[in-house]
Structure 1
Amino acid sequence: MRVAVFGTGAVGAYFGGRLAEAGEDVTFIARGENLLALRAHGLRVASIAGDFHLPTVRATDDPALAGPVDVVLVGVKAGQVAGIAPLLRPLLGPHTVVLPLQNGVEAAEHLAAALGPQRVLLGLCRIIVQQVGPGAFRHSGVAPALAFGALDARLPMALGPLRHAFRRAGIGVEEPADLRVALWEKFLFVAPFGTVGAAARVPMGELLAVPESRALLRACVIELAALARAGGVALPADAVDGVWKRYEQTPVAGTTSMQRDLLAGRPSELQAQTGAVVRLGQTHRVPTPVHDILYAVLWPQEIAATRLNAAPH
């Protein structure tokens, strides 16, 4: 199977790397120091599921040199998906499918608007993985897993071979009865965690230990559950309590990628997570006062990070 990973950040590198390790034909689309490192030293992943090093990988910054492929894994940050979607066209053949791996609930819609819904998958991934240097990554928690399905009945490719390829690479493949519910259940976990954690600037253990931040976190989860249901997502009745149990099982030092990016002064997924809650609340006329305030607190930090990273060095 021919695979292109567009955006070789932590998530794309891990899932694409495992596919390449299992013998699939994978091309990594990257840029800057990351691209140079991939070309010079290959891909290195330290993982709780077993370290691996691919000393030679195919890497480019030009999608036209990689395509067409069977599958495109989209590994950029969620806030970048709409902007990069047109750049994926050189990767597309008659039977290509596009699988987004982002946090959030809007990535598939952004891709479908640019590429057509018939070739886009609704997808989510589960993993804790970070980039620790150019071409180097660390998988530190959560058994890697994916769930995906067709956004449109006209999907040009059977998904059985793709699921088999991931399983052969040691990646769990879930097949939930309702993929939209699964996507929103993940969003229900990660968005409040990252939003409150970034505003408080502390990890999960400290959020739960302080009554005021604990209450703030639960208020965010309740708001988001109400928003999902208003949008027609059939969340289970115990969705809030289910998320809360997962929070209490989260390592005390646990943080989200959005939180880590904001604390480090890097552009983050704020718009695709907290911003999405605010926007969707307005669309569905669901009050989101807690998210509104936290978004207003965090947005200036995102602007500063974007300005800093856009400045010449």
Structure 2
Amino acid sequence: VDAVIVGVKSWQLPEAARAMRPLIGAGTAVLPLLNGVEAADQLAAALGPGHALGGLCRIIAFIAGPGHIRHTGIEPSVDLGELDGARSPRAEALRDALTGAGVRATLADDIGVALWEKFMLIVTWGGIGAITRAPIGVWRGMPGTRAMAEQSLREVLALAHARGVPVDEGRVAATLAFIDGVPAAGTASIQRDIMDGRPSELESQSGAVVRLGAESGVPTPLHSVIYASLLAQVAAGGAQA
């Protein structure tokens, strides 16, 4: 399969796109497995149209040390698909290569919907986890922060609809149910990065909700507060957003 799989943090994508240019031939597919909903567009801008697929991975893991990845939850899986929803030989071949290597990989019926469904989860978990600095088992069980979680999900759902992505209304309840099933000690990667003073994906998560909301005329009051609050945390800690 003539493909490049991109598995970097969102803030590393511009540098990765520049570095991969020698690998890109006329028929090379590029599969981004990044958080957020903008990676495919960014790759298309950097590499030219036609290369980028849509893709996402589901896993809870972190770097425990050099060459040491600790997997702490969720059966790992990959969803991928053409951005226009078409079935293509290259997407099917890449799916088959992944499954042949033991990866649970699926061709999404609508990768745009799948990306936004994951986006709803990560910006809610990451944003609330980062501003509260508390594990998920704490904030999901408190009335105030649980209400924030539902508002967060509804803001992102409204934004998806405004941008023409038909995410089902039932994803709000489904995502809250998923949040309830996560191990109580769970924290989000953006939360850990900000708390530890490392570069984070703030701009591609809450920052993207605020920016895309402004572009689409969708109010995002909660995410505006989360984003501004986390920018202050980042500034105080000396890390990059």
Using structure 2 for the length normalisation, give the TM-score: 0.93
- 1:174-228 deviation digits (Å, cap 9, x = unpaired): 2222111111001111111100110000011101121111111211111111111
Identity %: 45
The C-alpha deviation readout for 1:270-292, integer Å capped at 9, x for no partner, is: 10000000000000000001100
CA–CA distance in 2 between the matches of 1:197 and 1:82? 27
The offset of 1:79, in angstroms, is: 2.3
1:238 pairs with 2:160: no
- Structure 2 regions of 5+ residues with no counterpart? none
Which one of 112, 119, 128 corresponds to residue 44 of structure 2?
A: 112
Q: Hey, what does 1:74 align to over in structure 2? A: 6
Secondary structure of the corresponding residue to residue 18 of structure 2? helix
Residues 107/101 of structure 1: CA separation in 2 closer, same or farther (3 Å cut): same
How far 1:152 moved relative to its partner? 6.0
Among residues 274, 291, 294, which one is paired with 2:206 in the alignment? 274
Q: Residues 263 and 95 from structure 1, CA distance in 2 versus in 1: closer, same or farther, beyond 3 angstroms? A: same
Residue 228 of structure 1 is matched in structure 2 by 160
Question: Residue 153 of structure 1: CA displacement?
Answer: 9.0
Unaligned runs of 5+ in 1: 2-69
The alpha carbon displacement at 1:117 in A equals 2.3
Letter in 2 for 1:290: L
**Would you say the 8 A contact 2:11–2:201 is kept in 1?**
yes
Aligned to 1:132: 64
Q: 2:83 aligns with which of 151, 161, 171?
A: 151
Q: CA deviation at 1:233?
A: 0.7
Q: State the alpha-carbon separation in 1 of the partners of residues 187 and 180 from structure 2.
A: 13
- Corresponding letter in the other structure for 1:124: L
- The one of the two structures with greater contact order (alpha-carbon pairs below 8 A, sep at least 6) is 2
Return the alpha-carbon distance in structure 1 between the equivalents of residues 181 and 73 of structure 2.
13
- What pairs with 1:64-103 in structure 2 (closer than 5 Å)? 70-103=2-35
- How far apart are residue 303 of structure 1 and its match? 4.0
- What is the CA-CA distance between 1:159 and the residue it aligns to? 2.4
Contact 2:139 2:146 in 1 (8 A): yes
Residues 167, 290 of structure 1: alpha-carbon distance in 2 compared, 3 angstrom cutoff: same
Q: Distance in 1 between matches of 2:179 and 2:85?
A: 36
The structure that has the greater radius of gyration is 1
In the TM superposition, 1:273-312 aligns within 5 A as 273-303=205-235, 307=238
Structure 1 pair 242/233, CA: closer, same or farther in 2 (3 Å)?
Answer: same
Q: What is the distance in 2 between the residues matched to 1:258 and 1:101?
A: 16
| Partners of 1:147 and 1:288 in 2: CA distance | 28
Among 175, 188, 193, which residue is 1:256 paired with? 188
Which protein is richer in strand relative to its size? 1
Alignment length (residue pairs) = 240
- Asked if 1:189 is matched to 2:133, the reply is no
Q: Return the TM-score normalized by structure 1.
A: 0.72
Does residue 100 of structure 2 align to residue 168 of structure 1?
A: yes
Deviation at 1:237, TM superposition (A): 2.4
